[in-house]
Chains A and B, each alone.
Chain A
């Protein structure tokens, strides 16, 4: 029996799908489904709507719209049960339906991922608990691609950093725990950041809880023998807080830019139909001829063309598209010419659908790329990129102030400005008091006084603060580890690379055309230390890489760097409860740690450029000999996000009205 690879995308989505369909089956007859908006994306990735229809779903509604109709007897709510607000929304709608409807309804609530005590309590107080059957759908990781798993917690960032609400840490721990129960303990949990530390502690704690749950009455499969996994090498936890700048920068990979321009949610993006054109609106909907319609486009990780494009620097996408077009053209043409015998002709016809799909995808990505080029050619884009690159390469940030002021005066979108200012503040451990006040004033005058709240939120998130951290919670000024210090890191981890090669990248810095994401560098310092060491000090010992010492994983490179990075550093080893000694000896003894998976977990979200960089690292592992050869890197995160999302959760939406 071949060992099942851990973090198998198909397996995880299959299980989630089965769980949900079973729940739906349990509710007899036709039903109306009321869905929390935040869950729609994940649901869409897991189950086709036609499948839901087969299981008796008549019409879907969004919980937020509050417009469930009374057409069906059964009403099923599907929502996240962690937030009191959502619970109240469900309760209110049940009450509304009960009041307005002629018929008696059967209510079912499916909480994702679990039924909480608080939700019960709130429903009870609202007087609706009695007439709803409550179940739970343990949905944790949603596979976005074969190597990307996301919890799709949209609020994780504002919860963690703005409201300091640790719910997402707990859910992450649960999700990782579920994987451990299936594939064995992570032999090593290593990471950086205060919230990351909390997550690691929770994982250890949950292990003892599982062991304690093993009392006589529990007849489930024994977890007591939970031993270190033989397929997973380690879990690396990176707290987003450790490295905000990477998130604030404009991503320069193709997928990253699609996200910047069009915004990707759950592998889907909305594009103006005038851009994509061609594809007809839904058959039967002939009336919708309005040109400003948005169309949903699936960004499919399975698409062969897209998988070559997505992680490339945008500068070379044009070339790649061109090449693909040439190849497609030549293959269809030559085949047409050569197809003389009927057998050859038949073969060609059999391949036709494949060509057509390829052509459609080529057309889509060409128009997307064109649109992105339009965006990147604007003056505003180049100016802000210039500021970003100057700050990241270590220029004195005060030299950039004129440009930023000008951009504010030109009324470019607020998030862009905030990203630049936060970038300066986070890379330089705050801003000079006088400058900060000038900028604050400028923002209030340009974008409205309501942003006094925005600025306060940013300060609370430690994104924009006066130097020395006079901010709200961080009164002990400049405590070591309280902020990430980029000045020494830039050198010791080689965060800035002037000779970046975008067409044929030799380092992860290609994802930002020069800047190597700190978070990925930290990962590299753990799993690719020799490569990194050579990169930092190329001349030192050119022959070193092949001889990796499996025991020296605790590694100086990481420790040195970790000193300058904000938050706690931790390195936890997990051994089996009883067979610990034996397990350890087998681990150390047999040197075949080939083909092991390294799980990188981003707490608080990961950007697409970082995913691309990690894929690059993973690709090197797979091909390379030496350290961790044949390994696989899997990216997990609470969500996939961009800088817009980060500052977005701070931006105040309200404004004064007359």
Chain B
């Protein structure tokens, strides 16, 4: 029969399955080239992983999603992860859809896979979506803690960056408290008070210089080891924009 067009192996396999001969049906389905017909039947026969493999083979993301949704409902989370784990395409699809909808799932996935950097990045994303400082700092702390055990170079860098972020945010909060418009000294130069929170280190220095708080600006520079050259550029630009010609 093989090689003859026009024969639907799906129908034959369906018949075999109805007779209860699952093995034979699976065997037969291998000859069915149309994944769109193959996969649903495989699911009906509870040959889940084969269905997933066939769906991936077809390249049709819709089919893959279909199987994944099915599996997600049926399996406990841990074994669901185990199934997708060895199949990069499936993992990628789960990740990308979970990114929009189900952060919790993603966290578990990274945890089980020991993908610490990505887990920590997820926490950083959450920190960014916090509306106020305190919870954001908490998330940052968690993100940093997540990387505590790994010693390789990228994680170390990452951790350092996260800790510096927390430090910067705290300093910025301090500045906002100290230099807010109610403080008469600061209110003189600027008509509208620009907040500090959320600015980058460079921008913070820029704002501080613009408002004439040189001491504090220098503190940031030494605290975060900003190169002299960068500082010089920042100073120049800040003074020009404040029209303090020197």
Residues on A lying within 8 angstroms of B by beta carbon are 82, 84-85, 88, 114, 116-118, 121, 159, 163-167, 169-170, 173, 198, 201-202, 205, 208-209, 211-216, 224, 405-406, 408-411, 433, 437, 440-442, 444-450, 452-453, 456, 470, 472, 652, 654-658
Contact = CB atoms under 8 A, between A and B. Distances in A.
Contacts of A456: 117-118, 121
B101 A88 contact: yes
B198 A655 contact: yes
A118 B202 contact: no
Contact of B229 (A121, A215, A409, A472): A409
A450 B93 contact: no
A446 B230 CA distance: 9
B232 to A, nearest CB: 8
Interface in B85-102: 88-89, 92-93, 95-97, 99-101
Interface residues of B, number: 72
A84 B100 contact: yes
Contacts of B127: 656
Contact of A654 (B100, B101, B129, B234): B129
A165 B59 CA distance: 10
Given A117-B65, A118-B66, A449-B168, 11 more contacts: A82-B62, A84-B65, A165-B96, A169-B59, A212-B33, A213-B34, A448-B199, A448-B200, A449-B164, A470-B153, A658-B197
A442 B230 CA distance: 9
Contacts of B237: 410-411
Contact of B202 (A121, A224, A411): A411
B125 A211 contact: no
B198 A657 contact: yes
Interface in B136-160: 136, 153-154, 157-158
B124 A165 contact: no
Contacts of A406: 229, 233
Given A214-B6, A449-B161, A117 B63 contact: yes
Contact of B100 (A82, A85, A118): A85
A21 to B, nearest CB: 26
A408 B118 CA distance: 27
Contact of B35 (A198, A209, A216, A444): A209
Nearest to B96: A163
A151 B99 CA distance: 25
A654 B130 CA distance: 10
B128 A202 contact: no
Contact of B195 (A201, A445, A654, A658): A658
B49 interface: no
A11 B234 CA distance: 57
Contacts of A658: 132-133, 172-173, 176, 195-198
B101 A85 contact: yes
B95 to A, nearest CB: 7
Interface in B208-238: 224, 226-227, 229-230, 233-234, 237
B91 to A, nearest CB: 8
A123 to B, nearest CB: 13
B73 to A, nearest CB: 10
B1 interface: no
Contact of A446 (B35, B121, B169, B200): B200
A88 B36 CA distance: 24
Contacts of B124: 450, 452-453
A654 B128 CA distance: 6
Contact of B153 (A169, A409, A433): A433
A116 B62 contact: yes
Nearest to B63: A117
Given A163-B95, A411-B237, A437-B157, A215 B8 contact: yes
Nearest to A657: B198
A118 B69 contact: yes
B114 to A, nearest CB: 13
Given A166-B89, A656-B169, A658-B197, A121 B121 contact: no
A209 B125 CA distance: 43
A164 B91 CA distance: 9
B184 to A, nearest CB: 22
B200 A449 contact: yes
A116 B136 CA distance: 38
Contacts of B101: 84-85, 88
5 contacts: A117-B62, A117-B65, A215-B8, A411-B202, A445-B230
Contacts of A85: 100-101
A224 B198 contact: no
A216 B11 CA distance: 13
Interface string B175-210: 010000000000000000001111111110010000
B17 interface: no
Contacts of A170: 59-61
Contacts of A410: 233, 237
